[in-house]
Chain A
Amino acid sequence: MAEPLPFMTITALSKAIASKALSPVELTQTLLDRVDQYDGVTNAFIEVTAELALKAARKAESEVMNGLSRGPLHGIPVGLKDIIDLAGYRTTAHSHQLIDNWVKEDAVVTAKLKEAGAIILGKLSTHEFAMGGPSFDLPFPPARNPWNREHFSGGSSSGSGAAVAAGFMPAALGTDTGGSIRLPAAFCGIVGLKPTYGLVSRRGVLPLSQSLDHIGPMTWTVEDNALLLDVLAGHDPLDPASADRPYVSASAGIHGGVKGLRVAYLPSLGAEAGASDEVMKGVAHVAETLKSLGAIVEEVTLPPLMDFASCGNMILSSEAFAIHEPNIRQRPEKYGEILRDRLFLAGFVHASDYVHAMKMRGELVATVAKVMRTYDVIICASAATPAPKIKEMPKFGLYTKPPLTFPFNVTGMPSLSMCCGYSASGLPLAVQIAGHAFEEATVYRVAQAYEATTTWRSRRPDLDAGLKALAA
């Protein structure tokens, strides 16, 4: 085991556990100690579930010692964004509204993780109800970027991104309605996948916008991400959006390479959003690398980002307002200011706007599908810049500065964000790889091929520097 335990991948940890060279109890305790020492830097946790984790670790250890294997997640600690239910614990959504929301049943994804032998290490920070911003008037502080705690960790799966990058756990679950897995993945320098709409059950997860919500894995490496998706994916007859179709393993062909694959390179998306030179160069380098590995790379364009943003935001606002209207009318004081004002704004969307947005969504899906007839994947920037400063995040801006991730929520296609370098200031840069519906395996193949050519995975945030900054 060359790497320290907190920095080992699931793939490596799994081998060590299966060969009995590593005890899940030792691993879990090491990570709990690390969280205790450093989470003041990141505020990634809302609750550390130490007792539950150690109990599960002892069970995993006993099972392994008795020759039972539950697969690659057996004995692996993971975290849950705090809108995902964990039986016996609160799901707070980082909000005063749900501060006493104790739940009795696991979400489907939580149950699947437990069945696979994973160890739940804690509930992780989120933007309030996955729609607020990094707020300072909530019951818990906002997550901070482990690369520089003055910077935003991205959101809304803010704690999940920070925790994985900080080495508190090798994997976490996030949710993504407009980019909430891929943006924290981008800003924290990890891998985050928004799967195809309908691939992963959402039952037991607080909704934000039913036709845009997705749940997905966040990890340090591409291969680890695919291993997690293999556990999470599958039909749930009780989730009306769940796709009833056979699942093809995303991890099985991950090392297949990109020779002959057709890659649509979309620099116009970043350019429209005024992306920084560092971001544009980083993504261009990914395109060149894939070409050098044998892919056929061609430049394409899609409808303007603002079309996706206008359409997606109308849908998101309307569906979120339908969920939150009783609370915004009856106890608005229990929301933080950012979410309250965003929900207030959502009250201005007309029913006809929503219907037009859904029709436009159909047009956008068809237009992108036409482009995708010729290509296997699209590559583009994940975010226009590296992580901005946390105190400079605007309350509004979804309509004027939309996230580059939004198009793939509107279309429902799978989309992955991964590190493609670092800025001069040492913050991660990120590329987005989107694929055909239900073809996550191809997205992972491309991502894996690129990751294998880089040294980006050898850097980690300096949490001791973060502690010093915190003390200063």
Chain B
Amino acid sequence: MSAESTPQSPITIDMKLAEYGLKAGPETLESLKGAVADLQTAAKNICKPRSYLEEPVHALRLWKK
């Protein structure tokens, strides 16, 4: 698994930059690498096996009619 991707697929910073037609200087590239690694850590933190019954869309149903 690349340090530049989340576990699901190897999307690299270079691939994304090319996809968007962007160019990044060495300093920006370095900080992006660090940020993508942080994102990857966060993704690992949230991606756990959960029951199908724990559906996501009603998390904010805070009120009742």
Contacts and interface: CB of A to CB of B under 8 A. Distances in A.
Interface string A312-355: 01100100000000001100100001001100110111101101
The 7 closest A-B pairs by CB, nearest first: A358-B56, A310-B42, A399-B38, A396-B35, A437-B62, A362-B59, A310-B45
A196 B59 contact: no
Interface in A199-225: 211
Contacts of A313: 39, 42
A282 interface: no
A362 to B, nearest CB: 4
Interface of A: 196-198, 211, 241, 243-245, 306-307, 309-311, 313-314, 317, 328-329, 332, 337, 340-341, 344-345, 347-350, 352-353, 355-363, 365, 395-396, 399-400, 412, 437-438
Contact of B9 (A344, A350, A356): A350
Q: Secondary structure at chain B's binding surface: helix, strand, loop or mixed?
A: loop
Contacts of B36: 345, 348
Q: Secondary structure at chain A's binding surface: helix, strand, loop or mixed?
A: helix
Contacts of B20: 328-329, 332, 344, 347
Nearest to A436: B62
Nearest to B64: A245
A245 B63 contact: yes
Given A359-B55, A362-B56, A353 B45 contact: no
A437 B56 CA distance: 19
A314 B46 contact: yes
A329 B17 CA distance: 10
Interface in B24-60: 28, 31-32, 34-36, 38-39, 41-43, 45-48, 50, 54-60
A319 to B, nearest CB: 13
A350 B11 CA distance: 10
A353 B16 CA distance: 18
Contacts of A359: 50, 54-56
Interface of B: 5-6, 8-9, 11, 16-17, 20-22, 28, 31-32, 34-36, 38-39, 41-43, 45-48, 50, 54-60, 62-65
Contacts of A395: 31, 35
Interface centre among B9, B31, B43, B46 (most CB of A within 10 A): B46
Contacts of B11: 348
Nearest to B44: A310
Given A332-B22, A341-B28, A365-B59, A399 B35 contact: yes
Nearest to B23: A332
A48 B35 CA distance: 37
Contact of A399 (B6, B31, B42): B42
Interface centre among A244, A347, A362, A365 (most CB of B within 10 A): A362
B32 A358 contact: no
A349 B42 CA distance: 10
Contact of B39 (A307, A348, A365): A348
Given A306-B45, A359-B56, A396 B62 contact: no
20 contacts: A211-B60, A243-B62, A306-B42, A344-B17, A344-B20, A344-B22, A347-B20, A349-B43, A353-B6, A355-B56, A356-B50, A358-B57, A358-B59, A359-B50, A359-B55, A360-B46, A362-B56, A412-B60, A412-B62, A438-B63
Given A307-B46, A395-B31, 6 more contacts: A243-B62, A345-B32, A345-B39, A360-B48, A361-B56, A412-B60
